[in-house]
């Protein structure tokens, strides 16, 4: 295969356009002699005469014109590659795929996605709303650049750091006796009809040990989606305990949200990436927004914490 540099391709394109060695050399920022040597060497390499020098003006042979046509196409593609790489490097173009807990993807994350889209409109962004294990698999399989989820520490092949922690709250129908309370503790749930989230889900796993000593009335209602809990509570079929970020699921005209004082009961939310994988600039810029976002029900900008560190209190503005 002939090794032809882009410098030679540009020289032939300039010579064909200007039909003058001196002018073409000036455009290519080389001497006329250097340009002539490039053309001669190219002809030797390809074994064909490309330029007819016998006439007063520079003329191209049929093979030379064919070569220039191909050279123009190749240089256009090389220029497109150059522009594409520069736009990716500057964050103006790229691809980003995020996996996030459904409860985060539904109400918390969209505001951040909207802010990101405004700043980086050229980035193609995909979102998977997935439970923790599925979200981690998407990162392992490199179908997602990172995951925002409630699991991740000490998982093989993955790196996790805590973004924030969220409090749990009690949700009940506005006619329920607990609805009049300004704050509750877990023991206040004794004797209450309780609606459970599915026991192998991330929310139930965080609640399991805390609720074990409480004498709850089993309603027989154990559901998978927070939206279903919201509908059941709105119909006064029981109370439940849910993370604070799920509150937008609940109808404020029917359901009362009561803060729960349980300092040891908090759900961590992690940023999970693949071990040893360099994140794209598009992903890095999104993570900057995650680390600095604020506003209603948005986490404060806080320093990164080690997985062994313990955060006290809620990471949310009131």
In tens digits, the chain (318 residues) has pLDDT values of 677 889 999 999 999 999 889 999 999 999 999 999 999 999 999 999 999 876 567 899 999 999 999 999 998 888 878 776 766 565 566 889 999 999 899 989 999 999 999 988 889 999 999 989 999 999 999 999 999 999 888 899 999 999 999 899 999 999 999 999 999 999 999 999 999 998 877 888 889 889 999 999 999 999 989 999 999 999 999 999 999 999 999 999 999 999 999 988 999 999 999 998 889 888 998 999 898 764 343 544 333 333 322 333 333 332
Domain range summary for the chain, segments of one domain joined by +: 6-90, 94-163+268-292, 165-259
Is 216 within 8 Å of 292 (Cβ atoms)?
no
DSSP one-letter code for 93: S
Is 229 within 8 Å of 242 (Cβ atoms)?
yes
Q: What is the pTM of this model?
A: 0.65
d(CA 144, CA 126): 9
Dihedral sign computed on CA atoms, order 227, 229, 234, 240: negative
- Residues whose CB is less than 8 angstroms from the CB of residue 310 and which lie 6 or more positions away in sequence, other chains included: none
pLDDT value for 264: 87
pLDDT value for 90: 57
pLDDT value for 276: 85
3-state SS, residue 301: coil
- Say which CATH architecture domain 6-90 belongs to: Orthogonal Bundle (1.10)
Is 269 within 8 Å of 209 (Cβ atoms)?
no
Is 88 within 8 Å of 81 (Cβ atoms)?
no
- Which CATH superfamily hosts domain 94-163+268-292? Periplasmic binding protein-like II (3.40.190.10)
Rg (CA), the chain: 32
Angle, CA 233 vertex, CA 232 and CA 238 arms, to 5°: 95
Is 51 within 8 Å of 59 (Cβ atoms)?
yes
Is 146 within 8 Å of 171 (Cβ atoms)?
no
Say how many CA atoms lie within 13 Å of 132 toward its Cβ. 20
- Sort strands 158-173 and 217-223 into parallel, antiparallel or unpaired: unpaired
pLDDT value for 92: 64
165-259 placed in CATH 3.30.70.1400: no
* Phi, psi dihedrals of residue 291, rounded to the nearest 5°: -75, -15
pLDDT value for 317: 34
Residue with tokens 């109400």: 107
- Give yes or no on whether 6-90 and 94-163+268-292 have one common fold: no
């Amino acid at each position: 295969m002939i090794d032809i540099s882009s410098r030679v391709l540009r020289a032939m394109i300039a010579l064909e356009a200007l039909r003058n060695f001196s002018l073409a050399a000036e455009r290519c920022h080389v001497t006329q002699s250097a340009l002539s040597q490039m053309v001669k060497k190219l002809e030797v390499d390809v074994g064909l005469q490309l330029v007819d020098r016998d006439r007063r003006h520079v003329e191209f042979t049929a093979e030379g014109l064919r070569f220039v046509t191909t050279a123009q196409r190749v240089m256009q593609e090389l220029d497109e590659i150059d522009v594409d790489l520069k736009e990716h490097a500057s964050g103006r173009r790229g691809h980003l795929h995020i996996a996030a807990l459904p409860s985060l993807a539904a109400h918390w994350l969209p505001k951040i996605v909207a802010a990101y889209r405004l700043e980086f409109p050229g980035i193609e962004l995909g979102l998977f709303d997935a439970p923790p294990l599925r979200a981690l698999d998407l990162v392992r399989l490199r179908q997602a650049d990172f995951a925002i989820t409630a699991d991740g520490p000490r998982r093989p092949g993955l790196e996790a750091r805590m973004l924030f922690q969220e409090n749990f709250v009690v949700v009940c129908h506005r006619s329920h006796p607990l609805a009049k309370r300004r704050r509750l503790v877990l023991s206040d749930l004794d004797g209450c009809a309780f609606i459970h989230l599915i026991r192998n889900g991330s929310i139930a796993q965080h609640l399991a040990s805390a609720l074990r000593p409480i004498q709850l009335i089993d309603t027989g209602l154990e559901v998978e989606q927070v939206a279903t809990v919201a509908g059941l509570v709105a119909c006064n079929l029981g109370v439940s305990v849910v993370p604070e970020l799920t509150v937008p699921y609940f109808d404020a005209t029917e359901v009362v949200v009561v803060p729960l004082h349980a300092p040891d009961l908090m759900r961590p939310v992690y940023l999970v990436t693949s071990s040893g994988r360099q994140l794209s600039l598009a992903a890095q810029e999104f993570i900057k927004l995650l680390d600095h976002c604020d506003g209603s029900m948005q986490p404060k900008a806080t320093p990164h914490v080690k997985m062994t560190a313990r955060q006290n209190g809620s990471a949310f503005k009131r």
